[in-house]
């Protein structure tokens, strides 16, 4: 006797998943919001919800700040040597080649002459995508040459720093020497009564912060930028004291007088123009 009969066979329906193209959305590192990339780009890569400033490439930074077609690059083809013949999981030469392919730069700094609203200036900027924007012999040389050119032409100097790597230890003492070299060039420039504006972005750390980045006549930072010499854990272990929350942020440094102002990215170009007009001879 059959107590149970098999019912009809059912085929489980599997709805087709719609393919969503990748690369359309970005998660904010500040608040976790999901932002449509076009919206992010239209807002200068600043989160519209929490004001988190995403990192800009050197091309984006140039397009943001300077008059279109006004940039004349200096010393574009200088490349680093490998004085220590550094060996590791990757050699120094391999790291340089990878960074060059990824960024389109020969080195971590780009320098040149440009204009803001028709006003001529000399600029330097570092790109954190190139070995963390660290300062090796070529970065130091390019910043120094740009400063000397600005001195000879009596032009304002603007350096935008984005370096989380400080001195580039693949080059040993040659790298450390660039701190003194760039600082000496800035000192000679300032003795001529010329205007140096230093712009600190996220991150500006270590040897770059301890040399030319901290020497501006006017020091500007982007909101919530990480600024300092070394990480908080190293400092705490050295001085055996607990550090204040957020002590390496641009907001903390403004409150304690280390920087002069915090300027949102969309206002930076206009503010630089105002400062040059006001303070130039």
Which domains does the chain possess?
Answer: 24-54 (no CATH), 55-279 (3.90.226.10)
Give the mean model confidence (pLDDT) for residues 209-224.
90
Q: In angstroms, rounded to a whole number, what is the distance separating the alpha carbons of residues 44 and 160?
A: 16
Which residue, 182, 221, 179, is CA-closest to 198? 221
pLDDT at residue 22 in the model? 60
11-14 long-range CB contacts below 8 Å, 24 or more apart? none
CB 83 within 8 A of CB 172: yes
- Give the model's pLDDT for residue 211: 87
DSSP state of 214: G
Q: Which tens digits make up the pLDDT trace of 79-100?
A: 888 888 888 888 889 888 988 8
Q: Are 177 and 140 in contact (CB under 8 A)?
A: yes
The pLDDT of residue 16 is above 70 = no
Greater pLDDT, 223 or 24: 223
Whose tokens are 């002069």? That residue is 260
Count of beta carbons in the 10 Å neighbourhood of residue 154? 13
Is residue 139 a contact partner of residue 107, using CB atoms and an 8 Å limit? yes
Condensed to tens digits (0 to 9), the pLDDT of residues 153-196 reads: 999 999 999 887 778 888 888 888 989 999 999 999 999 999 99
pLDDT of residue 3: 52
246: enclosing H helix or E strand = none
pLDDT value at residue 153: 95
The terminus-to-terminus CA distance of the chain in angstroms comes to 108
Q: Which residues contact 185 (CB under 8 A, 6 or more apart)?
A: 143, 144, 147, 148, 151
Closest by CA to 131, choosing from 85, 182, 175, 184, is 175
- Please tell me whether residue 29 adopts helix, strand or coil conformation: coil
Give the Cα separation of 203 and 133 in Å (integer): 9
Whole-number Å distance between alpha carbons of 190 and 210 = 17
pLDDT at 15: 58
pLDDT at residue 255, rounded to an integer: 86
Query: How many residues in the chain?
Result: 281
pTM: 0.82
- List beta partners, residue 135: 167
* Token pair recorded at residue 84: 């220590």
pLDDT band at 281 (very low <50, low <70, confident <90, very high): low
- Tell me which residue of 180, 76, 184, 93 sits closest to 138, measured CA to CA: 76
Q: CA-CA-CA-CA torsion for 171, 174, 176, 178, nearest 10 degrees?
A: -120
Examine the pLDDT at 274 and tell me if it is beyond 60.
Answer: yes
């Amino acid at each position: 006797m059959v107590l149970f009969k098999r019912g009809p066979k059912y085929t489980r329906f599997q709805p087709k998943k719609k393919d969503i193209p990748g690369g359309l959305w970005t998660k904010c590192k500040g608040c976790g919001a999901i932002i449509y990339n076009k919206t992010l780009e239209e807002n200068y890569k600043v989160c519209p919800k929490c004001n988190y400033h995403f990192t800009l490439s050197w091309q984006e930074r140039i397009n943001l700040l300077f008059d279109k077609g006004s940039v004349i690059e200096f010393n574009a083809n200088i490349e680093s040597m490998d004085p220590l013949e550094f060996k590791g999981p990757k050699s120094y030469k391999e790291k340089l080649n990878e960074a060059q392919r990824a960024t389109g730069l020969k080195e971590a700094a780009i320098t040149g002459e440009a204009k803001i609203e028709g006003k001529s200036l000399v600029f330097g900027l570092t790109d954190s995508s190139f070995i963390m924007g660290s300062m090796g012999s070529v970065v130091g040389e390019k910043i120094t040459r740009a400063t000397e050119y600005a001195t000879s032409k009596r032009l304002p100097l603007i350096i935008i720093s984005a370096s989380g790597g400080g001195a580039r230890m693949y080059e040993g003492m040659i790298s450390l020497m660039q701190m003194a070299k760039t600082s000496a060039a800035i000192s000679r420039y300032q003795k001529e009564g010329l205007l140096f504006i230093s712009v600190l972005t996220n991150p500006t750390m270590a040897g770059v912060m301890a040399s030319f980045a901290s020497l501006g006549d006017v020091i500007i930072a982007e909101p919530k930028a990480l600024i300092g010499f070394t990480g908080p854990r190293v400092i705490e272990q050295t001085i055996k004291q607990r550090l204040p929350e957020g002590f390496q942020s641009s907001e903390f440094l403004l409150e304690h007088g280390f920087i002069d102002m915090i300027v949102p990215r969309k206002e930076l170009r206009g503010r630089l123009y105002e400062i040059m007009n006001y303070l130039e001879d």
